[in-house]
Every structure is written in C-alpha cells, then in structure tokens.
Structure 1
Amino acid sequence: MHSSMDGLYAAVLDNGILVDYVSQLHDPEQPGRMQPGAVMGNIYKGKVMNVLPGMQAAFLDIGLSKNAFLYIDDVLHPNLEKREKQAADKPSIRDVLRPGQELVVQVVREPGGGKGARVTTHISLPGRWLVYMPEAAYVGVSRKIGDEQERERLRIAGERIRQPEEGVIMRTAADGVPDEALADDAAVLRELWQALTGQAVNKKAPAVLHLEAGLVHRVVRDMLAADIDEVLVSDQQLYEQVCSLVGTMAPGRTNLVRCHSTAGDLFEQFGISHQAEKALSRTIQLASGGYIVWDETEALTVIDVNTGRFIGSDNLEETMFRTNAEAAELIARLLRIRDTGGIIIVDFIDMEIEANRQRISQQLEALTRMDRSRCTVVGWTRLGLLEITRKKSRLKSLPSAITTCGSCGGRGLLYEKR
C-alpha cells in the first residue's frame, strides 16, 4: 500500500506479478481530503421524482448531479422478486412508488456515460466475514467455498446468527472462521444498520446516510486473505492506520504488516507502476510473442487474441491453443486489474478441435474463481466467441493513469488528406 502526493494506492502481487490494483485520489480542491469520486455502496435517503410505468422504473433524487435509477426488481422484497420471475406477474411500478415518496436506497452501479447511479432498496452491509442484509430473510454462502461440509456449517451458523427477516451471505473469508467471530461481525453490522435507520427518520431527502469505507479499510477488509504473506506500506502514518484496522478485523495478523522504510517510491521499486501501465494499454503483449487488443465501450468490452510473432511448432492447432491458453491467463488477471464489468466478448484464435475450446473455457472458469467480483464464463457463441459477464466494483481502477484525449474524444483516429 502506497501513499503519495496525489492519493492512496494498493496492489496485490503474486510471485511479483500484479493481480489487483485499486486507488483513491486526493481532492485537488480540498488538500488532505480524498476525492468523493466513487459512490458505490453508499446509502442515501432519496426522494422519488418520476415514476415511469413503461420502463417499470423510477428516478430518485439522492443528492448527486443526476437522478438515480431504481428498477422494479430493486423495490420488491428480495424473496418476492425470486418468486415473481415472469415480468407479467410483477406489479406496476405505479402501484409501488409515487412521486414525492422517500426511500432508503444503496448505490449498486456508479454513475457514468451520461447516466445516473443505479440504486436498490435491498441494502447490504459488507463485514470482514459476512454480508449483512437487513431484509433479505435468507442465508447464502460464497460459491468459492467448495467444501460441502464447511458450506453446511456456515449455513447453520448463519441461521443461528440472523434474526427474523434478516439475511446474511457468508463471504469466502468466512471459511474456517469460528461461529463466535461470525456472530460478532453480524452484531456490528446490525448495530450500524439500526443507527442508519435512526438517522433516516430525522433527515429530509436527499441525504447521505452512510458512506462506503475508504480505500485503506476496504483493502484490509477485502484483500487480507489467508494466503497473504506480507503487507508493505510506504510510511509510518499509513503503517499505524493499517495495523489498527488489521488488529480489529484480523487479530493475530498484525505481524504481517511492515513499514517499507527504504527511500524511494514503493511501487516503482517493486515494478508495480510499470506493470499497471502495461495492463492499461490497448495492446498487451504475451510472453510468447502473441498479443491481445482490448477495446472498451459503454455497453461491452471486446478482447481480440492474436498470434503475433509466435510461430509455435509444426502443429497449427497446438500453436493456436498455446496462444489462447496464455491469453486466457492474462485476461483473467486484467479483468481484476482494470475492473472491467458488464458483457465481455473474447475473440480467441479459431481452433478446430472442440476439446481445445472447452479446455480454454474451463481454464478461464478456474482462473476467474479467484476474482473478488462475481465473474461468469457464459460460454461460446455461435460465431465462436467466448462470452463472459463480470460485476464491476468501482467506476475506475486507476483514475490517475489514463484520461480521454480532449481532441479525439478517445476515438484515436486521424484523417489524412490525399
């Protein structure tokens, strides 16, 4: 974790290779404070401004520059939503909401691309071991916990912990955690929710009720996994803050935190800045000589795999497979670093053998299980493209690293007269 003049940065390395990167910049107009930037996870008391039956949605004023979007599924009770799978069975949005009505909502998608934030009434508060949902009325367990005996233990613990109408989801980090620690985590989050609802009664919409934790808190909460060997921080002040949080969230692991006292930029010394710059390029080279081209639009991301200078062996199919396998490993890592979300289409090099295609999709499925965000390998399309969906967690992973060209608007084309 590195603190600099322009903000805070955190990276995760696996054998020296960058696998995750997040940042939060300082606000240039308020020295010493972070930019408000991301609003994902924030909880607001909002006011319904418009109800649109044709879209089964409403727009709420939550105090941001653009009104937030609330879809009918995010208004109905979570269990009711599961029962009413067909759109025809759902009530009209007019029967549920009216202009002027005030609601407590949480941001589930950042504003961007000319659109306002998307919000939900299904509140969730993440803790160290579990996610607390005050009105969900069910227990879930992370799919990344594969041991069925452990999954059953966590389900039973969740049923004991939750009160009527409450719900909890056991996070991957809950694997092996004693029931007492899980109960303590839920109690803290329950107390936080009760405080929020108390505030909501006395505040007039639009109003902020809860801000998602800052970068340091999120990093300790979400990235301090069991397989982390060492946590390096760049200065004494940050070291003390991280130690305090680790002592609270993961007692007994403060010995992993070390202050990197060597002079110079911590990220430069470990090659993180160079790796991050390469990861954000449009064209990224593969070690074999092949390369991928990464294009993002508002609706989807398209990734094109090419053999480039890699000529492989005498077997064309083997050359294509090896390039695709190397690209799949890189793509799974870049999805995390770039925090790419939505629909992702990968144009792998065409392979004739169906078994090789399945090996590539299975490889990606295995690699994306390590992703903290929900990532699903949907499968191959009829045109031979691999479709992936991923939940985006932040508006931008590296806000200071890239900016859109003011001249071309990011199109990158130049007209030459002949």
Structure 2
Amino acid sequence: MNQIIVDVGISENRLAILEDEELVELYIERRNNKRIVGNIYKGRVVNVLPGMQAAFVDIGLEKNCFLYVKDALGQEYFNKKDFVDREISIKDVVKQGQEIIVQVIKEPIADKGARVTTNITLPGRYLVLMPDTQYIGVSRKIGSAEERERLKAEIEALKPENMGVILRTVAEGKSKDDFREDIKFLLKLWQKIEKEKKLGFAPRLIYKDFDLIDKTIRDTFSKNIHEFIINDENEYKSAMDLVELLSPNLKDRLSYFEESHDIFRHYKIESQIHKALERKIWLKSGGYIVIDSTEALTVVDVNTGKYVGITDLEDTVLKTNLEAAVEIAKQLRLRDIGGIIIIDFIDMSNEEDEQKVLNLLEKSLNKDRTKSKILGMTELGLVEMTRKKVRQKLESVMQKKCHCCDGSGKLLNEYTLLQRFEKEMRRIALHTSCEAVIFEVHPTAFKIFEEEFITRKEIEGLTKVQSFIVPNPSLNFDDLKTKAMGSLENVKKVLNDLSTK
C-alpha cells in the first residue's frame, strides 16, 4: 500500500511518502525557506560569461541565479537539425542589464545559486503547457506505442495555437475532456502571468508555484496512492478543495488525522528518518552499506558484515550485492543524493553475477521519479552512475556541521530542534494539565530560541502552555531537557531557584 503522510507544524511542514509502510521520500518545507522550483521571476542579467557559455541573473534572492546558454534559448532552436552548441554564444542571446523572464528549475544548493531557464513550463494534472514552443511530447513512462499515438492525436486537436504540450504519465487512459479542463486552467494561469510580466521592475516574483502539499496533490497524488493523510484540519479542507478540482475520483482517499497523536510517530516515520541520517545501513541478511558524501561525489561501500551465507563464498557475495542494490536505490531516493555516485560492490568473479546486480540496481532505480543513469562498471569493479541534482540532500536539510568538531561530525540543526520543541509542547498540552514548563538547552541553542521568540509565542498560544528556556552548558546542542513543569506559580519558583544558584 502506498501512502502520503503530512505533518503540519508552525515552523515547518513535513511530507512523507510510504510504500508498504516503508519511508521512501521525505520533503520538508519551512516557513521562511520554501521551495522555489517552478517559480517565475522577472530578472536582470548582471553578468555574461562567454567562457562558461552562461550568465548570472538577479531575481531577488541572496545569490544570483545561473542561466546556461541552452536554458536561455527557446526549445525551437534544439529542434533544428543543423543546430550546434558552439555556433551560438551566450553573449549573442542575453546582454548585461537586460530584463528577462525566467523560471527556476533547480534549487540553490550549498554555495551555488538556483538554476533558471527562459523556457517556461506550466504543469497541470495531466499535462505540461509550454507557451514558448509548439512541441508535443508524451512521458517516456507510458510504454505502449499505441497509447502514445492515441494521446498525441487527442492533444493535437486541443493544443492551443503556437504552444507546446507534454502529456504526463497520469494522462495514460485519459480522454479529451480531462485534457480540456487542464488546458483551460493553464491558459488562464498563463494570461495572468503575461499581465504580471508587464508590471514593475526586475527583480520581482511573477508567479509562485504551489506549496508542498498542493504540489504533491497535483504531481504525485494518483490512483497509485491509496491514502493521503493530513494532521491539520485547515490544510485538509484546502487539500480537499484542490482534489475536488483536479481529481474528484480520489476524494475518498484523502483523510484528516486527529491531532491527539503525533502523526509521524503513529506511522513509525520518525525512527526511519533517524536511520536515513546514519552513515551505516544494515541489510536484512546481516551485510551493510556505508554512504559517504563529498562536495563532488557520493561513495557507497558494500560489505558482507555478519552474513556468512549458506552454500559458498560466491553465493554469499551475490546475495549481499543483490540486497545492497535494492537498498542503495532506496537510499539515493530517500536521501535525495544527486550528482556523481560511485558504488563499490563486493568483488564478483562471475560476469553473469555482475550483470544480475546491475540489472537489479537499474530496475530498483525505476521507482525513483528523479532521473538517474548507470554508466557501467569500471576495471576496478566500481559502478559509476549519476542522479540528477534537484534539491538539497536530506542531510543538508536536517543537519549542519558541528561547531565542536569542525565538520567531522553532524547533529540535528536548529530547525529540527525547534520542531521537537513544538511537538513536546503539544504533547504536554494534550496529556497533562500543566500550565507551564521549563526546558534546559545548550547555550547556543538558547540563543536560537531567543531569536525565534515569535514562533515560540505562537506555539504557546496554540498549546496554552507557557514555556521558559534556560541554558545548560553540560547539554549537547540538540538536547531538549524538561527541567520542571506544573502550575505557573510552582514553575516560577523553580525558575527563581535556578537563577539564584
């Protein structure tokens, strides 16, 4: 069974995708750091670099965005048979100081700014509208040649003049009526964007794409998802309205989870998130894999560990590698690892066994919506592959470098600590009659709680519990220790005693 579980909080929303109760994807959207992929901006070219065949564009973010020459040219250029990259220089496409309309196609990652394109795309439920091209395409995941031709014929009669369309995977088996409503909605959206383009000066936001929950409903919620569960009543009602508009046949699969329990703990997601941040992952057989990342690439090492096999060494190695291939594909997807990936499977002397492992790895990667490519096995027996970088890795979202060990270890970041504070406040409010509580935290974390004063007050207002935060140097940075709780009067006495020590 496939499920989408949404944990709505004051400081952040978390969305988990489960397959047979196993966490396979996790998305986190924070109040002050929301995703920008899909957003459309009026930007200004600040620098043109012919040597890199790229330009930097200011769209109002902290870092300028990267515009590659291929992303600066219209799609029609690439449909010409005589098109050659080197014939067109970036300086012939954009000029310094020029105002241009761009769409974000890749989030800022580490020290790199976002990547943008001038080829605007507007995703709907069943199709993607491309206002600047006349191309018609069909998702590669629709394998039937007959169905692909039928879909092309259906959309040809509906396609807006001088615009292009790509039919998404969920379009399989759908009719003209389904596509007609999608096109109607997207054309209205494009007309609104066209008006916004003419207003104001760069840099400015023209169109903001759906938030995490709405985007998941549009892009992921399909007949393959058996349950979509949200723990916030307002978000549930909003989601129901969108499902009614986009996929009314899926309404009965959307449900509201009462807030008397922690939804992620209820579905055993928290423990799986913790494991997704660990360096070593144990396999069911007793073998294990180790994942290490650098800025340039990620290395995965496979080991037999405690597994000794049943028949012979060759059989033990093959079974461990096959199990590892499935787990590696899952971990790359869950941890959102992109870029160059090197996998060091246990050495196999049989070429047929090597091919079995590669085939299973490729099959397992097919479940991943992010594009990946296996390049083969090197002479050293290392598997080379790539996975498209779209977002920050999960560890970058949830962790930061430890200030005590200069980056040699990692720990939960302040946002996760604040989220833990919120969950504990909710638990106290639901299961006790306490009026107030004292938490002890590391002095560095204490400063963060002081800076997040407004968020704390919102949490207090929601839970009707007053909180007091005191520093304790003996604690670790990610500790949140309950010192005392009870009536406001008694808690204040404890607080006074602490201040006099």
- TM-score by shorter chain over 0.5: yes
Partners of 1:353 and 1:164 in 2: CA distance: 57
Q: Which of residues 63, 66, 76 in structure 2 aligns to 1:69?
A: 66
2:403 is aligned with 1:403: no
Q: Is the 8 A contact 1:145 1:175 kept in 2?
A: yes
C-alpha contact 1:113 1:298 (8 A) present in aligned 2: no
Aligned partners of 2:227, 2:112: CA distance in 1, in Å? 40
Q: What is the match of residue 20 of structure 1?
A: 25
Q: Residues 299 and 343 of structure 1 are in contact (CA less than 8 Å); yes or no, is this contact kept in structure 2?
A: yes
Aligned to 1:9: 14
Q: Does 1:282 align with 2:282?
A: no
d(CA) in 1 for partners of 2:26, 2:196: 34
How much does 1:165 deviate?
Answer: 3.4
In the alignment, which of 360, 385, 389 is matched to residue 388 of structure 1?
Answer: 385
2:173 match: 176
Kindly indicate which of the two structures has a greater share of residues assigned to helix.
2
Partner Cα distance (1:158, 1:406) in 2: 56
The residue that corresponds to 1:87 in the other structure is 85
The Cα offsets for residues 204-259 of structure 1, whole Å up to 9 and x where unpaired, read as 11111112210110121122121211222213223212212211111121111122
Rounded to whole Å, the distance in 1 between the matches of 2:278 and 2:32 is 25
Q: Report the more deviating stretch, 255-264 or 344-353.
A: 255-264
Question: What do you get for the CA RMSD once the two structures are aligned?
Answer: 2.0
**Aligned equivalent of 2:434:** none
* 3-state SS in 1 of match to 2:60: coil
* Greater displacement, 155-164 / 312-321: 155-164
Match among 348, 357, 360 for residue 357 of structure 2: 360
Q: Which amino acid aligns with 1:148?
A: A
TM-score, structure 1 normalization: 0.91
Q: Which has the higher contact order (CA 8 A, sep 6+)?
A: 1
Aligned residue in 1 for 2:230 = 233
Q: 2:257 aligns with which of 257, 260, 274?
A: 260
Which of 98, 106, 119 lines up with 1:122 in the alignment? 119
Q: Which of residues 140, 148, 168 is equivalent to 1:151?
A: 148
- What is the aligned partner in structure 2 of residue 244 from structure 1? 241
SS in 1 for 2:249: coil
Change (3 A) 1:241 1:85: same
One-letter amino acid of the counterpart of residue 9, structure 1: R
Does residue 194 (structure 1) correspond to residue 211 (structure 2)? The answer is no
Counterparts of 2:390 and 2:171, CA distance in 1: 20
* 1:69–1:401 distance in 2 versus 1, CA, 3 Å: closer
Displacement of 1:199 after TM fit?
A: 0.7
Partner secondary structure for residue 252 of structure 1: helix
Q: Which has the larger radius of gyration?
A: 2
Between stretches 61-70 and 155-164, larger displacement belongs to: 155-164
Determine the C-alpha separation between the residues in 1 that align with 2:79 and 2:408. 42
Shift of 1:397: 4.3
Identical aligned residues as a percent: 43
Answer yes or no: is the 8 Å Cα contact 2:232–2:259 preserved in 1: no
Q: Secondary structure at the match of 1:161?
A: coil
Q: What is the deviation of 1:44?
A: 0.8
* 2:310 counterpart of 1:313: yes
Structure 1 residues 338, 102: CA separation in 2 closer, same or farther (over 3 Å shift)? same
Deviation at 1:71, TM superposition (A): 1.1
Q: Is the 8 A contact 1:21 1:398 kept in 2?
A: no
Cα distance change on mapping 1:299 and 1:42 into 2, 3 Å: farther
1:359 aligned counterpart, secondary structure: helix
What is the CA deviation profile of residues 65-92 of structure 1, one whole-angstrom value per residue up to 9, with x for unaligned ones? 111111111112213135466433x212
SS at match of 2:151: helix
Indicate which of 201, 215, 219 corresponds to 1:218. 215
